[in-house]
Structure 1
């Protein structure tokens, strides 16, 4: 097969001259022509000012071992179900991990001295860069690297020729995800922090500087649930569904205009939300929405954005939706995984089919020709596939029978076979071919998932209230597992009831909605009914009832404070005879509690918040009173975010403002996590500490950015009332 090589545009060549692919998590496998996308993902301008952890952030669990395939720049990697890693292709820097540095292997070889692996990553790089390293994550949370180390990308404290066998990254533990760029490496810890090492001229380490590092350094971002590294840039997904990027931005691949400059500090891509997965290409980025649609931004010279246009050296800073048909326009949907190369991307759909778009000079789209595709096109594969990987110029897919299929450029035998005649042995293949005599195991895990279920068939909420749902997976061996923090969620009517990535469903206004929870290839639905109070009806959780009927506070640490709050009419229980002391509280709910305690006269100030229409009628007056009393000031973008869970820092700030206590100076608190306290709240928290308002704090950690519970909220308010009474007395 004849192959062709297209030159990059002039502007691209210029920055290449002065410059010195990633992985996709497998998901179980919908034909876009059949399945209609849910109108859930609508890009809007979020403009978050800070990078504090999202309020629904929970510690991340290490992934279960799921066999997968990963494509690097010139080599390929496979993770077997037994935890071993296999590699083939280029080995010029020892990136195959077999103890030698040579031309490589045309067949899979096992990586030396490596076992119990749960995830792998490989650099994507560029041929003119000295790239070639591989990364693996063990089940114990340690990270192992091998290959080129010229810029310290192995993370072992040196910058040298590297290692041809796996070496452990020292002083790094509790890692749950890994990613590899051309010359740098990333790791995500369970606490949501991101650590990077290697080349940093373009700021791809995200620590605010440009000095390279041979040891892990922390990026200036937390609350992260997923990471991606590619070429000379990095990206992260936070648990609130927002995407943050940093590093090189030659062609808008970061998703915002930096006027040609690089960005060494993580910054939010301004007009996307509801994202569940991210993947970076060479000079573009792809994001998977919670409804299975794909959005892209960056350089489109190779039709890499999949938006129906091609041949343009256009920098798209605004997300473009990937299509599979132009006339009429139809968006690709039902996608469960993405992987990207230099100028192409491939996706795995829910039905197990693989679709791709973009650059096709070497047949990397696997559709039988060498013509680029500006819209998603089905790869010429038969059967059900469960994982994908895209390298710079080649692609891979794992079938549900354990076989591996590859296509595209075959230099250094990265496809895992000798290309059949009449092509030369290392000639490209524009059709997928099976890697012979190699399987990753037909049984991808020791047990398979049978179904998932919710803790209830239906949920009833009052507008402004929220509830934590629980999702359970049942397996073929009869065992079950709580997967609430791993499932993905959708609401059919998000303006009536929204659902967070942590499985917290919130009632916004009266009406009906449907909740969908998805885990791998399993889906479960439940009806959500939201009832909006009328007239003087109490707020959610403020249904008057005798304290003796509250069935879940006996022996609770806040029991006496809850009793006092109920007796004073500050808060009440739920219709099912519970108080739910450990449920989180929204900003609107807390405003109502606070005003129930203070009982100020008047209707309050006129509300001018941009999102005032999202405030339930049950909370309008109390929020207006809080504004009039300067207890609430809102966010810098003019919003109040009534349904956002209130953090400890926000709650205590409001309580101290309400107390009218003299503010302490901006001194440090005595809490062990004092450094995490945001500047706006520091003097208020110091004051609360001195007056004993926040006496519910455990282990001397204030946890400023974690959600406040109902028990903590009423305790802070009861303590505030005691202080006010003492001051008056």
Structure 2
């Protein structure tokens, strides 16, 4: 459970991971302190975010708290240059860039996580507004956090929405204005309803809200507000909205209901399913807003002010996660197939996009991402996908494996190097401990001069990069081999059980165990696979025999001519 990833969030050039034991890890660009490590240095592999130096912004420092006492976290969010974390007691913590008050306190950047005290105070003070059908003793607390651009959002356990940072608001004349506020503000427009999900771009917000007072698992309505210069609100026009407006495509009367939402800088993506519950589940990905780089996946670079289904996604695929980067979009299905589309071929956005004519390399249609794990188009155990400005992270292996591709600057891919990757590469996970890093770096050394230390650090970084490349290559090879033999993913959690005596892998025992637990369909697929492999081997053996016989016959004829 400690190394299982249960949530992931990507900022402009940094990534956050939440693990099953309530810890948070970060990596990528460190500028503005967005990694929460206490400094602005980049991190090329995941590092644990420590709360030992966390503080109240009022100036009262927490006492030095050990790992045993630090908060247990249940949620994370990443804005462009800042980060949020939600603890199980409802407290919200933030760090990074803060020029617009998006951290929820002052305007100074923070290199370490700090408690958003005002949010706790506001939620506590709002107890007088508890709905009549709720117990007066029900304690209010935050249960979800989200961030995007320079904004931050939180939803409490009664479904109320709070926002702070550079947020869209209404002037006295009813026009849109962007107001910077370090104090969390309630969004009163949804009073009497339950806000379930929220997403935000640079200057626009989309929320999924219950049609009634409470959410019963069905019937979400989609609202949007903020800047609409590119149609990113999906309202059929480009007039900005200072207050939430229902998107008619996903209204209460619509035949589609929303279950996931995401915002790019100036575009929006929504996953929705048919409301006809008696039929097979039908779902689609809808996009709207800026389309200059193909991020809408509609086969063109034309923007749209109305939601349009993405062209090219299989009708039978059930999409479980969607996210938007700056100018790209990505989705993953329950079967583990991943599609990306949008700006810049290969740099994490749309692998294998084609060039033609004046094509800038943008993918105008969904491009299916090949899995190095299966050597096909299926990632095993898909969980969630997240997009940064120019990188994409996929959580798979039921939460125990991560893949990254895109622009690798500042170590944003989390694999120990800064190189770009045109194909999914394994993120260094589980995270290395200090002993592992020292071993990969070749061990410590005696103190030297500053110049010598810098040279040693560069040499250590090179050794670490080379070692990580070798580890990634060997892990990829091991997984492909394991899937080819056993028709299932290599599970590191059970790896030790598979070694006996002198660390010898008992393939026969593993294969017998796998056969004993396989169902009829799995056995049939395996039979077909191995029959195909056996037929190919027999064909190759026959071809070589024929080739050898032909060579021997020609050689014999040549000898007879020479003798004659």
TM bin (shorter chain): 0.5 to 0.7
Please tell me whether the aligned partners of residues 95 and 111 of structure 2 are also in contact (alpha carbons under 8 angstroms): yes
1:245 Cα deviation from its structure 2 partner: 0.4
1:252 Cα deviation from its structure 2 partner: 6.4
Q: Which structure exhibits the higher relative contact order, with contacts defined as CA atoms closer than 8 Å and separated by 6 or more residues? A: 1
Please tell me whether the aligned partners of residues 288 and 294 of structure 1 are also in contact (alpha carbons under 8 angstroms): yes
Please tell me whether the aligned partners of residues 252 and 298 of structure 1 are also in contact (alpha carbons under 8 angstroms): no
Q: Does 2:102 align with 1:204? A: yes
Q: Mark the CA change 1:429 to 1:178 in structure 2 (over 3 Å): closer, same or farther.
A: same
Match of 2:260 among 304, 329, 337: 337
Deviations 1:87-133 (A, max 9, x none): xxxxxxxxxxxxxxxxxxxxxxxxxxxx422111101x4xxxxxx11
Please tell me whether the aligned partners of residues 275 and 289 of structure 1 are also in contact (alpha carbons under 8 angstroms): yes
Aligned counterpart, 1:431? 365
When normalised by structure 2's length, the TM-score is 0.53
Deviations 1:156-191 (A, max 9, x none): 112x23211111110254111111111110001111
Q: Distance in 2 between matches of 1:309 and 1:265?
A: 32
Q: Mark the CA change 1:424 to 1:252 in structure 2 (over 3 Å): closer, same or farther.
A: farther
Q: Structure 2 matches for 1:468-483, cutoff 5 A?
A: none
Q: SS of the residue aligned with 1:413?
A: coil
Aligned counterpart, 2:205? 285
Q: Distance in 2 between matches of 1:274 and 1:120?
A: 24
Aligned counterpart, 1:372? 303
1:423 Cα deviation from its structure 2 partner: 6.1
Aligned counterpart, 2:227? 299
Q: Structure 2 matches for 1:83-102, cutoff 5 A?
A: none
Aligned counterpart, 2:189? 271
Please tell me whether the aligned partners of residues 251 and 283 of structure 1 are also in contact (alpha carbons under 8 angstroms): no
Q: Distance in 2 between matches of 1:252 and 1:364?
A: 29
> Which has the larger displacement, 367-376 or 142-151?
367-376
Q: Does 2:163 align with 1:249? A: no
Q: Mark the CA change 1:194 to 1:423 in structure 2 (over 3 Å): closer, same or farther.
A: farther
Q: Mark the CA change 1:212 to 1:204 in structure 2 (over 3 Å): closer, same or farther.
A: same
Aligned counterpart, 2:8? 120
Q: Distance in 1 between matches of 2:41 and 2:358?
A: 32
Q: Structure 2 matches for 1:394-433, cutoff 5 A?
A: 394-410=328-344, 413-422=347-356, 427-433=361-367
Please tell me whether the aligned partners of residues 400 and 442 of structure 1 are also in contact (alpha carbons under 8 angstroms): no
Q: SS of the residue aligned with 1:227?
A: strand
Please tell me whether the aligned partners of residues 251 and 299 of structure 1 are also in contact (alpha carbons under 8 angstroms): no
Q: SS of the residue aligned with 1:300?
A: coil
Deviations 1:15-35 (A, max 9, x none): xxxxxxxxxxxxxxxxxxxxx
Q: Distance in 2 between matches of 1:214 and 1:182?
A: 15
Q: Does 2:202 align with 1:321? A: no
Q: Structure 2 matches for 1:480-491, cutoff 5 A?
A: none
Q: Distance in 2 between matches of 1:332 and 1:201?
A: 42
Gaps of 5+ in 1: 1-64, 66-82, 84-114, 126-131, 446-729
Q: Mark the CA change 1:136 to 1:233 in structure 2 (over 3 Å): closer, same or farther.
A: same
Q: SS of the residue aligned with 2:249?
A: strand
When normalised by structure 1's length, the TM-score is 0.41
Q: Distance in 1 between matches of 2:228 and 2:176?
A: 18
Q: Distance in 2 between matches of 1:259 and 1:419?
A: 39
1:324 Cα deviation from its structure 2 partner: 2.9
Q: Mark the CA change 1:361 to 1:173 in structure 2 (over 3 Å): closer, same or farther.
A: same
Q: Distance in 2 between matches of 1:283 and 1:216?
A: 25
Superposed CA RMSD? 2.7
Q: SS of the residue aligned with 2:80?
A: coil
1:412 Cα deviation from its structure 2 partner: 5.9
Aligned counterpart, 2:517? none
Please tell me whether the aligned partners of residues 367 and 379 of structure 1 are also in contact (alpha carbons under 8 angstroms): yes
Aligned counterpart, 1:349? 272
Q: Mark the CA change 1:258 to 1:375 in structure 2 (over 3 Å): closer, same or farther.
A: closer
Q: Distance in 2 between matches of 1:325 and 1:271?
A: 18
Q: Mark the CA change 1:330 to 1:307 in structure 2 (over 3 Å): closer, same or farther.
A: farther
Number of residue pairs the alignment of both structures matches? 317
Aligned counterpart, 2:533? none
1:352 Cα deviation from its structure 2 partner: 2.6
Q: Distance in 2 between matches of 1:362 and 1:411?
A: 11
Match of 1:308 among 217, 236, 250: 236
1:258 Cα deviation from its structure 2 partner: 9.3
1:343 Cα deviation from its structure 2 partner: 1.2
Please tell me whether the aligned partners of residues 233 and 246 of structure 1 are also in contact (alpha carbons under 8 angstroms): yes
Q: SS of the residue aligned with 1:367?
A: coil
1:437 Cα deviation from its structure 2 partner: 2.9
Gaps of 5+ in 2: 52-69, 121-140, 211-218, 274-281, 384-564
Deviations 1:289-342 (A, max 9, x none): 1222110110010111111112x4x3x12111113399xx96574110101101
Deviations 1:657-681 (A, max 9, x none): xxxxxxxxxxxxxxxxxxxxxxxxx
1:424 Cα deviation from its structure 2 partner: 7.9
Q: Does 2:70 align with 1:190? A: no
Please tell me whether the aligned partners of residues 323 and 375 of structure 1 are also in contact (alpha carbons under 8 angstroms): no
Q: Structure 2 matches for 1:504-515, cutoff 5 A?
A: none
Aligned counterpart, 1:170? 50
Q: Distance in 2 between matches of 1:252 and 1:299?
A: 12
